[in-house]
Amino acid sequence: MIDHYLKFSKLLIIIITIIFIDPGILWSQKNFYRHFETEEDSLHTLFNLIEKNKNDSQKINLNKIVIEILDATLNDDLSFTYPFDSLKHLGKITSPDKLFRIYTWNLVFNDGSYKYFGFIQYYREKRNEYIVYQLHDNSNNIINPENVTLEPMNWYGALYYEIIKNKYSRRTYYTLLGWDGNNDLTRKKVIDVLRFGSSGKPAFGANIFKFDKKKRKRIFFEYSAKTNMTLTYNEKHDMIVFDHLSPSESSYKGLYQYYGPDFSYDAMYFDKGKWQLVKDVDVRNPRMKLPKGKWHYNRKEDFVK
């Protein structure tokens, strides 16, 4: 009983000592949240003004302020865990291993074109530090975008909505699924891949996609702006599943404003460091047959009959 009392007394003394040594601990944390809430409110107002504005030049000027605020905010390490929940115009996704976050958004101009903006907030474990990279959209000037490696200053802009982590031969790949508004006639979906070098610098694109018997560093799907395309990661099957796109008439082949889903599905599965294409999949089948005689097993209870 005496020992129990002594232990409790020591614990109480430690708590009281901490509070008196630094009475601002709880207060500083409260202020910390208030600080990010203030920045979030400012960004929320700016995004709303951009959305309502009809003048392209004014949109660009307002967006410059958004970039300045986000740059300063994200360079505060503590912002990595702040949710920014009220910012519906800002895409925010975190990698499965919690090592980085990607923030993306866009501007829509009067001619129907889009411009993308973004930041990567990366935790470099070896040095216990956070690094922030601003992404600069250069989509219109990238030649042969399916086969080039890109850096943050030369980025193919998109709104990312999913990150898939894969590892092979000591290399970690983060596969990104994204959306591109493109123009008035067509939309695009993109499958890209992100890697980090030993210095923490990100690079987009890698020869890990085998698509229609060709190696590519990223995959694009273009389709009519009047329809929608499904491109998603199916965790149950551990595959990227997507609508197969076809023209509404054979004479429209190559004219992507007439392309849309034809009610069949294709998929890609990760095998030996490569994303492999498999056509005409049935995602409802718990034993989905893959090329080379392989079978993809899943529990029957995971599927809707």
How do 209-211 and 214-216 pair as beta strands?
antiparallel
| Helix (H/G/I), strand (E/B), else coil: 25 | helix
Any idea what DSSP says for residue 292? G
pLDDT of residue 212: 82
Residue type, 272: K
How do 129-136 and 231-234 pair as beta strands?
unpaired
| Helix (H/G/I), strand (E/B), else coil: 244 | strand
Tokens 């491109």 belong to which residue? 231
pLDDT of residue 301: 32
pLDDT along the chain (305 residues), means of 10: 45 41 47 80 96 96 97 95 94 97 97 97 93 97 97 98 95 97 97 95 96 92 97 92 96 97 94 93 67 43 28
How do 209-211 and 274-278 pair as beta strands?
parallel
pLDDT of residue 289: 57
pTM: 0.84
If you count them, how many residues does the chain have? 305
CB atoms within 10 A of CB 243: 21
